[in-house]
Structure 1
């Protein structure tokens, strides 16, 4: 089957909460004020006076748009500056009033943009307040806990809240918040982040007691680098930028007149009573309904993380059971649909601090996706976005990302050996294409849904579910997988799933043979994989790891037994037999005995009979002591070996590079569903041939000796990161001509 999207497609941009394109009228205003009306508003000649008129006219439009009344409007570089200036002002007031020390609280919503708590922390330290930052809890709908606010306000020096959340779109009830705050404290400074509110909800700030309200232009179709700050009449303000006295001394520095002119154009559109590019709120809710309907055709089990009546219509935050954010991001990005993850980077699976604060389940936090459109979206743009999203339903079904009753097609990515990974955990699926027979090795719970969908969706005939050992740090998913597939996982098998009687397991044209290899644990086994009597690979559990050896200081571990197992396994293998482990801490995917011996001289000495048993025991114990300081390497010690591509190819060099290397093979290492959602070939020079080899299939390709070590390979992925990993993996195996496309498809699409 050909890829679903095999030609270049226009980008569908649905990440407007991050930034927006510049409206044509705003871009024209910028161009005009850079080329024609370029005067300095502080100059007193005619050119400067024209600039001053534009500046003040825009200020009056802003005042009218947000209902500023007699409050001040100060032009800034954006919301971050506005937040900094507001926090600095509130905390200098607190210091002057003697509100300092750990008993003084700096209150902020637990789901605030990180700019707020980080600004509070920064100025708290710099001003020497020594106050305590205190996050206001939210409920499952993302609404602030008013009782908590009432209890803590007497001790607080400032309170910071949001009008609408950037990740979930949740609106706070500003009227209820005001009643709550002012019933306890009429004097406390109140900052409200209004960045996501403009154009999506009505604002009449002069009718409130909000003291500070920052806004950002690039969130509403203006260029980056321009924003403004509302200050309530008479509020204490400490300028963040001083010098030239501009903005009535509230913010020095020559004003960004082109940016301000763009705001003028945007504000004019927003204030139109008819004919505006900005859509009325009922139309925005209809867009939301249409987009949500399209998403549910792709992911029927989709769960919303925020919904009406608690959110603005332009943000859809959702999660899908069985999917992490990256899975959906990669799929959508391959199809040219730009959405974003609500997750923050971490050393493990990223999660959303906003959804965590709302108390939602971890799978929702780790799988959250934010789809956000702007209030100037046209009906045709919404229609095109829905069509593009719905196209992905076929991709999702084809690659068994969700269970369906569709007729299965055994794509090449399912045939043979597939390595599935979750963080450092590895699971393997072996499939004979002719018989559809399958075996699973070392299934883990985070990959349970994926394995289940692949096996049931492809109607595979499961011959066995095997563990290489009982894992001390995580649970096997063997029994859960068998239960989902309605199989008896304990009948006539040992605790690892191997048949009580018989030395081999047949899987169509493949055959597995068991070798007892205790040492990491007392029950550990390795499985040798044969295809038509050819040894293809060995599943070694945690006996050997890519870059290290298994631990022996855990329950059931035995260094001497591990030594014997390694020597016994050596007799069964070739030096270049691919060894597949149940952990991969260093993103190396697999190893061989030859590589392991090169990386670990002690192992080479052991296998060559040069190391006495007592010395090996001492070496194992020394390793254990090192492991105690490396908790993330629970089952083995790994020293990361720096390897890289031979060269990084810049996108602008690509055509000439390929012309100079006619034998070059372009290798797309994205996962199969990404390749189907958006092919690579249309973005390469005409006539380029692309070989699709997902990282999950590298083990199959290399166990079948499909490539020669001197084959020139250009690795490509979505961003250039996974392709670099592929280069590093292959370089370890001895490949000599490896190249990586800088920035991947992101920079050539």
Structure 2
């Protein structure tokens, strides 16, 4: 299928993730093309074309020596920093083995914030070469600098020390002079590797004045192509080739040299060596750009906190977090607006943190919310201005969706009426609100989401009727307690937050009542949601999970009570009533009794009144599995992989939308939808329905979607839309497509 013949306007990209990789400079690309098409000789050939190639290669090596102050030692061209690290580690470990420095008393040290390539290489080759030394992290201070007191204690047993010149996440620069003084004073024969990947073009390096044994570099971090790098090896440092073969690079690294990549390095080195005519900015200019970008960020996020700061950082890296935000929230928001940044944590349904910030001892919320904005030393004033303009444009989006508190008039702000489901790891919290009465209720909040709830309630001017817990274990929920103190006027309420004077609660058009459903815990209730005299949903805590049954082996749990509660709940609601649990380990969002009995055969025996001994053993077996895996899980879920969703390639999108009456379902969050409308990227006009993943539960509750409705699901990367498609398929939807790669491949 050919590419679409036309597209709507796409959002121009503002790229601020240069610590990950950089675009290739035009002059560098020209040098690469020239070498590939004209000066393409093999440096090992003896004819004129080969000799020219050899001269160009050695000229680049000479430029590298000038740039690094490395008149002596080896400059070896590699495929990149990872190869340089591997080669350095192998060389040092082979020498250690020859010296008899093996066994657990020997330490192989690395900075706790080091790029994973270093410790993983140490562990791998330590085991493979049977050195069997102890691989150990050197602690760092809150600033990110190596803890020199801790290093001093470790050095007497150290055979190799690995540190960074500058950290890729935080931009923190290590004091290499101080580290050298300490290492050579306490353990002068230790081999010292310094990862210099982020240093080139951003900080001065003079290897004539510092006794670094190994220093790997990578071209694509400084406007070169991927697949080229080089390694500096100090005179006298042991060296063992990683790649043997034809003897290229003086026998130090076999394989025909990557001459186009080396030509790219030559152009970059020349630029760095001639600052008066270089595209690279002076340090003062880079700091000015940093201040501009930081000021723009603070307009969007006034409470922004920097995770690394002067004087220990490179100008080109801003690592920050915002209270109440997870990294994925900001990443999705920025990406929808065409701003490319990165997070310090993986973006998945499970909230993780940055190991770098964890090692620095920063608060967990800063680790989980870490965003890295990085620009290159060749940034122009125009690029900086455009980046700032694009960032500032997000301020009204953030205010509109109550992501931060403002002094805006809440009566003029729209309310996300109905039910919203918020997730933190496998925890599910719910917000039910009515647009007309401007009332709301919160069910099963967790502390990491508390600030988000405060922003929504106060930002939209809602009256919070109650904060309810469906169940409690040994103590009250601290998140609920905090939210009640801040937002709820009612005083007389039980420990779960239910007002004592009321059997029912009214939230605008919604009426809530509850029934006692102990079993998983002694204090447990199912909160019933009634609309137009019909129970349409129930919030059931953990007595029943999507594709699982709650545990009964926790304190106060009772298998008999659980059976009675499940039977009562079944008698109270219909087979199709939506059941919302407080945990969702299988990413299924919701269940019903009809679904639950299909997916969990054990449930049918329990509901049928089977004797306890007939099913208790199986439930106990499930609990034992849970206890081995994680003591906090509240029920076992057996996940079955169902992926019968039709995947649509971006190039096939135009034909699909032109030939079938399909509704495009945009499942990105509301702030993403406001920051960048999906129809901007579509090749043809199509009906677009915006139902964020967090509002999918409301779409089911309000029956916004029909089972026979053809739907093409879209998100930023294709992951959330695939998840939504699986949820819908499980609920009976038949005609579902998912855009592979999401909006990212259309932009």
Partner secondary structure for residue 519 of structure 2: coil
Answer whether contact 1:504 1:512 (CA < 8 A) is retained: yes
Residue in structure 2 matched with residue 27 of structure 1 by the alignment: 29
- Correspondence 1:150-299 to 2 at 5 A: 150-299=152-301
Residue in structure 1 matched with residue 637 of structure 2 by the alignment: 638
Residue by residue over 1:94-115, the C-alpha shift from the partner in whole angstroms, topping out at 9 and shown as x without a partner, is 1111111111111211111111
Query: How far is the alpha carbon of 1:622 from its aligned partner?
Result: 4.5
Residue in structure 1 matched with residue 721 of structure 2 by the alignment: 723
- Correspondence 1:504-583 to 2 at 5 A: 504-583=504-583
Structure 1: state its 5+ residue gaps.
1-5
Partner secondary structure for residue 727 of structure 2: helix
CA distance in 2, matches of 1:305, 1:624: 40
Residue in structure 2 matched with residue 3 of structure 1 by the alignment: none
Structure 1 residues 273 and 461: alpha-carbon distance in aligned structure 2, compared to 1, 3 A threshold: closer
CA distance in 1, matches of 2:150, 2:348: 29
After TM superposition, the score normalised by the length of structure 2 is 0.96
Partner secondary structure for residue 205 of structure 1: coil
Residue in structure 1 matched with residue 367 of structure 2 by the alignment: 365
CA distance in 2, matches of 1:17, 1:352: 15
CA distance in 2, matches of 1:482, 1:425: 19
Residue in structure 2 matched with residue 331 of structure 1 by the alignment: 333
CA distance in 1, matches of 2:401, 2:182: 52
Question: Which segment drifts farther, 463-472 or 423-432?
Answer: 463-472
Partner secondary structure for residue 370 of structure 1: strand
Query: How far is the alpha carbon of 1:347 from its aligned partner?
Result: 8.7
Residue by residue over 1:259-300, the C-alpha shift from the partner in whole angstroms, topping out at 9 and shown as x without a partner, is 001111111111113121100010000011100111111111
Answer whether contact 1:645 1:724 (CA < 8 A) is retained: no
Answer whether contact 1:398 1:408 (CA < 8 A) is retained: no
Structure 2: state its 5+ residue gaps.
1-7
Residue in structure 1 matched with residue 703 of structure 2 by the alignment: 705
Answer whether contact 2:158 2:187 (CA < 8 A) is retained: no
Structure 1 residues 85 and 474: alpha-carbon distance in aligned structure 2, compared to 1, 3 A threshold: farther
Answer whether contact 1:644 1:727 (CA < 8 A) is retained: no
- Correspondence 1:398-437 to 2 at 5 A: 398-408=400-410, 414-437=416-439
CA distance in 1, matches of 2:455, 2:262: 53
Residue by residue over 1:565-614, the C-alpha shift from the partner in whole angstroms, topping out at 9 and shown as x without a partner, is 2222222212111111111111000101111111123323443x463455
Residue by residue over 1:604-637, the C-alpha shift from the partner in whole angstroms, topping out at 9 and shown as x without a partner, is 3443x46345535455444434443443672122
Answer whether contact 1:442 1:476 (CA < 8 A) is retained: no
Query: How far is the alpha carbon of 1:704 from its aligned partner?
Result: 1.5
After TM superposition, the score normalised by the length of structure 1 is 0.96
1:654 aligns with 2:653: yes
1:306 aligns with 2:305: no
Structure 1 residues 63 and 488: alpha-carbon distance in aligned structure 2, compared to 1, 3 A threshold: same
Structure 1 residues 732 and 344: alpha-carbon distance in aligned structure 2, compared to 1, 3 A threshold: closer
Residue in structure 2 matched with residue 66 of structure 1 by the alignment: 68
Partner secondary structure for residue 276 of structure 2: coil
Query: How far is the alpha carbon of 1:646 from its aligned partner?
Result: 2.7
Answer whether contact 1:710 1:735 (CA < 8 A) is retained: yes
Query: How far is the alpha carbon of 1:319 from its aligned partner?
Result: 1.1
Answer whether contact 2:645 2:726 (CA < 8 A) is retained: no
Partner secondary structure for residue 280 of structure 2: coil
CA distance in 1, matches of 2:672, 2:196: 37
Residue in structure 2 matched with residue 688 of structure 1 by the alignment: 686
Residue by residue over 1:538-578, the C-alpha shift from the partner in whole angstroms, topping out at 9 and shown as x without a partner, is 11111221111222222222222222222222222121111
Answer whether contact 1:355 1:365 (CA < 8 A) is retained: yes
Residue by residue over 1:291-336, the C-alpha shift from the partner in whole angstroms, topping out at 9 and shown as x without a partner, is 0111111111111111111011001111111111111111111111
Answer whether contact 2:350 2:426 (CA < 8 A) is retained: no
1:123 aligns with 2:125: yes
CA distance in 2, matches of 1:190, 1:141: 22
Answer whether contact 2:538 2:577 (CA < 8 A) is retained: yes
Residue in structure 1 matched with residue 743 of structure 2 by the alignment: 745
CA distance in 2, matches of 1:306, 1:696: 32
Partner secondary structure for residue 381 of structure 1: helix
Cα RMSD (Å) of the superposition?
Answer: 1.8
CA distance in 2, matches of 1:7, 1:400: 28
Residue in structure 1 matched with residue 3 of structure 2 by the alignment: none
Q: Number of paired residues?
A: 740
1:677 aligns with 2:675: yes
CA distance in 2, matches of 1:557, 1:158: 53
Structure 1 residues 83 and 546: alpha-carbon distance in aligned structure 2, compared to 1, 3 A threshold: same
Query: How far is the alpha carbon of 1:153 from its aligned partner?
Result: 2.2
Question: Which segment drifts farther, 519-528 or 425-434?
Answer: 519-528
CA distance in 1, matches of 2:645, 2:147: 56
CA distance in 1, matches of 2:598, 2:224: 57
CA distance in 1, matches of 2:732, 2:701: 14
CA distance in 2, matches of 1:624, 1:670: 35
Structure 1 residues 92 and 623: alpha-carbon distance in aligned structure 2, compared to 1, 3 A threshold: closer
Answer whether contact 1:344 1:353 (CA < 8 A) is retained: no
1:455 aligns with 2:457: yes
- Correspondence 1:372-391 to 2 at 5 A: 372-391=374-393
Query: How far is the alpha carbon of 1:472 from its aligned partner?
Result: 5.3
CA distance in 1, matches of 2:673, 2:363: 31
CA distance in 2, matches of 1:623, 1:176: 55
